[in-house]
Amino acid sequence: MNSSPVSDARKWATLAIGCVAQLVLAVDMTALHLAIPGLIRDLDPSATQVLWIADSYGFALAGLLVTMGYLGDRIGRKRLLLIGTGAFGLASALTAYADSAGQLIAARALLGVAGATIMPSTLSLIRNVFTDARERTTAVGIASGVAGAGVGLGPVIGGALLDHFWWGSVFLINLPVMAVLLVAGLLVLPESRNPRPGRLDLPSVPLSVLGVLGLVYAVKEAARAGAGQPRVAVAAVAGLVALVVFVRRQRRLDDPLIDIRLLGSRAFSGSVGANLVAMFALVAQSLIFAQYFQQVLGWSPLVAGLAGLPGAVAAMAGGGLAGPLIAVLGRARVVALGMAVAACGFVLYTLTGTVAHYPLMVLAMLPVGLGMGFTFAVTTDTMLAAVPRERAGAASAISETGNELGGALGMAVLGSILGSVYRGGLRLPDGLTGANTAAARDSLGGALQVAAGAPAGLAGRITDAARHAFVGGMHTAALCSAVLAAVVAVAALFALRGVPADIPEQLEPADEAPAADAVAVR
């Protein structure tokens, strides 16, 4: 590990590079959804290929985060970040110019591999250059806020590009950004690594990949095709078995891929749990933005993206304000406050209807964004600070893996709830064929397609019925998110109780209680 002092200018430049890298990854995750209609027209993929185009990036990313976090600790976080930056640029070009569905799936998987090297490297570099506890908290809060803002910026940037260029432009825009990051990283970033990395245990790598991918795939397929599908059960069992074997192996190794003792730290495990459930709840907002603005209100992708910006700005503000709030309220209370505020925002979503009342939407977006900004900034900083700096890459990887799993679970469970309420509340007019009725009951998009081919009077009744049913499902999903956020708010008061506002450097899991006693806590 590089222990030489880093100048203030270089520290904040490192943060800027990390923020831009996180921003690109966040934007890239959301841009694909807007590009899918265009690439379907050009490449004519099958329905299964469309699913793999959407999922291959996330599968590769989630499966390799743990391995890449360890690798960064071992070979150097700067080196891994620069390798990943170059690979991400190359994979973006391959994605943009793919001329078949198979090539696009492979290119998206390569993007996921590259993203898995960048995600833990950025946070671990920030952790290592900001050694002052309060400065580190501020820096991590800013990085978390920028990442949250990127999710909102994705539809805006993607929509603006797709209004003028072909679908590949949403990926090609990554190239100049990655080129700048590569040059700036070479010149600015300090290198850091674990001074005693040990030997890489090769069997642990496929076990971790199979474990994470098995669970993520099972969750996604359960939401898509139903939990009763045989492949869902096979994937879930394979994932669980692999994770059990992986954990048992890590306990026996002198140099584990992940030090399981990290989970013995209440600060660390409590933050991982809070992050996972918070991400689960936050998925409701993405469901709302993705379908409500466009399919219920009839807005274009660009207008829908712009409409979601207040939430992104609020998330960025929440991340920046979290540090000062910790000094006043303490970590547990800031997370509890953030989730309580977010819960209120989710409840406000239930006041929306099938007619646009945008100020009401903003009124809901702002507390959700602000509260989630508070929460993710504090929990991410707590996870990074609760482990020694030489393990920062592994800690970052666990954090990001928890986020991926929480997002997948939220999409599956809340998406299923929304769909179930939609189907239960849908009151279609008489006169539809069996096939049209089945298509309309399947999804709001299916209902709108049926309406497009129906006579004018019937089309309006189908559209109205489907939109009202969808809004009912959206309200239920929002209320479920509100309940989850409230539960996390209460749980955080216990899980993070006693964790110091300023976590001392090199806090080992076994020493958490004495360290907390030695520092004034709030």
269-288: pLDDT as tens digits: 888 888 888 888 877 677 67
Task: Please give the mean pLDDT across all residues of the chain.
Answer: 83
Distance from C-alpha of 160 to C-alpha of 143, rounded to nearest angstrom: 25
pLDDT confidence of 472, banded at 50, 70, 90? very high
Region 353-358: mean pLDDT is: 88
Whether the predicted pLDDT of 446 surpasses 50: yes
Whether the predicted pLDDT of 509 surpasses 50: no
Distance from C-alpha of 259 to C-alpha of 254, rounded to nearest angstrom: 9
More confident residue, 176 or 25: 176
Whether the predicted pLDDT of 504 surpasses 80: no
Region 139-163: mean pLDDT is: 80
Region 93-113: mean pLDDT is: 91
Distance from C-alpha of 207 to C-alpha of 143, rounded to nearest angstrom: 30
Region 380-396: mean pLDDT is: 78
Whether the predicted pLDDT of 517 surpasses 50: no
CA–CA–CA angle 479, 480, 481 (5° rounding): 90
Tens digit of each residue's pLDDT (9 = 90 or more) over 53-87: 877 888 888 888 888 888 888 888 899 999 999 99
Predicted local distance difference test score (pLDDT) of residue 123: 83
Region 420-439: mean pLDDT is: 86
Predicted local distance difference test score (pLDDT) of residue 41: 82
Region 30-47: mean pLDDT is: 78
**Euclidean distance between the first and final Cα of the chain, in Å?**
32
Record the tokens describing residue 368, joined without a space: 């959700």
Region 10-24: mean pLDDT is: 88
Residue 352: φ, ψ to 5°: -80, 160
Region 461-481: mean pLDDT is: 91
* % of the chain at pLDDT higher than 70: 94
**Tokens 């969808």 -> residue:** 470
Beta carbons within 8 Å of 434's beta carbon, 6+ residues apart:
none
Predicted local distance difference test score (pLDDT) of residue 136: 82
Q: Where are the beta strands (DSSP E) in 231-347?
A: none
Predicted local distance difference test score (pLDDT) of residue 518: 33
Predicted local distance difference test score (pLDDT) of residue 287: 66
Predicted local distance difference test score (pLDDT) of residue 284: 66
* CATH code for the structural domain at 265-412+479-522: 1.20.1250.20
Helix, strand, or coil here: 430? coil
Whether the predicted pLDDT of 515 surpasses 70: no
* CATH code for the structural domain at 1-200: 1.20.1250.20
Distance from C-alpha of 221 to C-alpha of 225, rounded to nearest angstrom: 6
**Tokens 């190794």 -> residue:** 253
Predicted local distance difference test score (pLDDT) of residue 86: 93
CA–CA–CA angle 392, 311, 379 (5° rounding): 25
Whether the predicted pLDDT of 227 surpasses 80: no
Tens digit of each residue's pLDDT (9 = 90 or more) over 173-226: 899 999 999 999 999 888 877 777 677 778 888 898 898 888 888 877 776 767
Predicted local distance difference test score (pLDDT) of residue 505: 61
Residue type present at position 434: G
Among 49, 54, 477, 496, residue whose Cα is nearest residue 271: 496
pLDDT confidence of 5, banded at 50, 70, 90? low
pLDDT confidence of 386, banded at 50, 70, 90? confident
pLDDT confidence of 519, banded at 50, 70, 90? very low
pLDDT confidence of 522, banded at 50, 70, 90? very low
More confident residue, 153 or 227: 153
Distance from C-alpha of 313 to C-alpha of 317, rounded to nearest angstrom: 6
Among 53, 35, 20, 213, residue whose Cα is nearest residue 126: 20
pLDDT confidence of 143, banded at 50, 70, 90? confident
- Provide the 8-state DSSP code for 291: I
Among 153, 186, 166, 165, residue whose Cα is nearest residue 79: 186
Across 11-25, 51-65, 460-474, least confident range: 51-65
Helix, strand, or coil here: 470? helix
If you write DSSP's letter for every residue of 483-495 in order, what string do you get?
HHHHHHHHHHHHH
Whether the predicted pLDDT of 513 surpasses 70: no
pLDDT confidence of 312, banded at 50, 70, 90? confident
Whether the predicted pLDDT of 510 surpasses 50: no
Whether the predicted pLDDT of 474 surpasses 80: yes
The domain segmentation of the chain, as residue ranges, is: 1-200, 201-254, 265-412+479-522
Distance from C-alpha of 288 to C-alpha of 309, rounded to nearest angstrom: 14
More confident residue, 262 or 379: 379
The answer to whether the 1-200 and 265-412+479-522 domains have the same CATH topology is: yes
Whether the predicted pLDDT of 395 surpasses 60: yes
Helix, strand, or coil here: 447? helix
Residue type present at position 152: G
**Tokens 């900004």 -> residue:** 373
Across 36-50, 75-89, 316-330, least confident range: 36-50
Q: Quick one: 228 exposed, middle or buried, by C-beta within 10 A (0-12, 13-18, 19+)? A: exposed
Is residue 42 a contact partner of residue 100, using CB atoms and an 8 Å limit?
no
Residue 44: φ, ψ to 5°: 50, 55
Tens digit of each residue's pLDDT (9 = 90 or more) over 477-491: 999 999 999 998 998
Task: Report CA-CA distances (Å) from 120 to 139, 146, 375, 513.
Answer: 15, 15, 19, 27
Distance from C-alpha of 143 to C-alpha of 18, rounded to nearest angstrom: 7
Distance from C-alpha of 111 to C-alpha of 79, rounded to nearest angstrom: 18
Whether the predicted pLDDT of 315 surpasses 90: no
Whether the predicted pLDDT of 132 surpasses 90: no
